[in-house]
């Protein structure tokens, strides 16, 4: 008889953590083709936290893949298509990937249905909110009047975050933390099922958790960019072992 993922982990196997990927025009060697890709920092963070990273490209989406996973990460990336939340596109909303949006929407719903440990990062938090019925601020500088959350191309900003007490976020980070961020979109109308657990000083939602789930958390920052702070990844892997 084939054992379940949870039985395998209980027997000592390292938890398998699925991570959604990009599908982008890519150049390597003599080739220029579309490819599924993901920054290595995600893989290194999962491995360092004790998990095994498995890539989930936005092709051939099948939610039953979660049956062989112990946890799921919805990774960062491009802008979410405004049609996902019935909005007209802002001039600064570019390079959307509707196919990836649908892929991640399916996996998010399936993970929540299974109560599979879920970590949503940057765009991932935005997709979590949209999937549950929320909306996005398409260009954050319009709302906060500064570019601190994305200072310049390929340069991460530093954001001080205040955390709500009595939350999973507070268990991991205390009442305040400083994080690396790179985004020009953010949560606007927060989905009813989400509880905001951290905000930046300008009011931007920086973390949220899904009500009724032991480990379903999204952060607007990029924890994978700080190899010296693996708290979110370690907590995800622990939850995937059901020992959090």
Taking CA atoms, 85 is separated from 133, 143, 186, 211, in Å, by 7, 18, 13, 21
DSSP letter, residue 66: G
Catalytic residue among 104, 206, 209, 224: 224
- 3 secondary structure, DSSP code: P
Is residue 206 part of the annotated active site? The answer reads no
Q: Catalytic site residue 224?
A: yes
181, 206, 222, 225: the catalytic one is: 222
Beta carbons within 8 Å of 209's beta carbon, 6+ residues apart: 167, 168, 169, 194, 195, 197, 216, 217, 218
Annotated active-site residue in 103, 122, 206, 209 = 122
If one counts every other C-beta atom within 10 angstroms of the C-beta of residue 177, the result is 20
104 is catalytic: no
Query: SS3 for 28?
Result: strand
Residues annotated as catalytic (active site), given as ranges: 122, 222, 224
């Amino acid at each position: 008889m084939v054992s379940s993922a949870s039985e395998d982990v209980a027997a000592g196997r390292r938890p398998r953590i699925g991570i959604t990927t990009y599908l982008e025009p890519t150049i390597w060697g003599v080739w220029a083709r579309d490819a599924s890709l993901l920054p290595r920092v995600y893989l290194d963070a999962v491995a360092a936290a004790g998990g095994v990273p498995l890539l989930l490209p936005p092709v051939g989406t099948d939610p039953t893949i979660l049956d062989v996973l112990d946890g799921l990460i919805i990774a960062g990336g491009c802008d979410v298509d405004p049609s996902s939340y019935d909005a007209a596109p802002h001039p600064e909303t570019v390079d959307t990937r509707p196919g990836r949006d649908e892929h991640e929407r399916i996996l998010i719903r399936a993970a929540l249905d299974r109560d599979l440990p879920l970590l949503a990062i940057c765009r991932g938090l935005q997709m979590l909110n949209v999937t549950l019925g929320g909306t996005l601020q398409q260009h954050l500088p319009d709302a906060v009047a500064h570019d601190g959350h994305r200072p310049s191309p390929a340069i991460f900003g530093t954001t001080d975050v205040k955390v709500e007490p009595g939350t999973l976020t507070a268990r991991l980070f205390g009442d305040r933390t400083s994080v690396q961020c790179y985004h020009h979109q953010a949560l606007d109308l927060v989905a009813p099922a989400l509880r905001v657990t951290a905000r930046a000083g300008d009011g931007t939602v920086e973390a949220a958790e899904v009500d009724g789930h032991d480990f379903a958390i999204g952060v607007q920052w990029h924890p994978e960019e700080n190899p010296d702070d693996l708290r979110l990844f370690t907590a995800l892997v622990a939850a995937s072992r059901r020992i959090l």
